[in-house]
């Protein structure tokens, strides 16, 4: 098992590997990343928020999603940056191939 840290990009991992997906966000403007689709061979095991070390308003923060590869196959991951009113501001997609 290994631990892979990445931004949203296509990658290849093995069964049992953990993917640590880092996404920048700005919660002071009500934006947060939400997974909209995760393929059945992947498990969303945790979601964490890392606030900025910058104390000024509007400083960027980070959302970290942890995905575990459960079974072989090619699995999509779709994410959407949404405002509190569920309006989409950005979208990201990636494909994870589990071997």
- pLDDT by position in tens, the chain (length 99): 778 877 778 899 999 999 999 988 876 667 788 899 999 999 999 999 888 787 777 777 888 999 999 999 999 999 888 876 666 666 777 778 888
d(CA 56, CA 52) in angstroms, rounded, equals 9
Confidence at residue 97, expressed as pLDDT on a 0 to 100 scale: 82
Confidence at residue 13, expressed as pLDDT on a 0 to 100 scale: 95
**CATH fold for the domain made of 3-98:** Immunoglobulin-like (2.60.40)
Beta strands in 1-99 (DSSP E): 3-6, 11-13, 18-25, 31-38, 42-50, 61-69, 73-83, 88-98
Dmax (CA) of the chain: 44
Query: Taking the model in full, what pTM does it have?
Result: 0.78
* The dihedral sign for the CA sequence 42, 46, 52, 53: negative
């Amino acid at each position: 098992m290994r631990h892979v840290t990445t931004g949203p990009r296509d990658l290849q991992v093995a069964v049992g590997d953990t993917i640590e997906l880092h996404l920048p966000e700005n919660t002071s403007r009500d934006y947060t990343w939400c997974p909209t689709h995760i393929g059945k061979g992947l498990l969303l095991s945790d979601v964490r928020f890392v606030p900025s070390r910058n104390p000024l308003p509007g400083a960027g923060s980070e959302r970290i999603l942890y995905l575990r590869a459960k079974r072989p196959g090619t699995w999509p991951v779709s994410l959407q940056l949404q405002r509190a009113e569920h309006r989409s501001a950005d979208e990201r997609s990636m494909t994870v191939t589990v071997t």
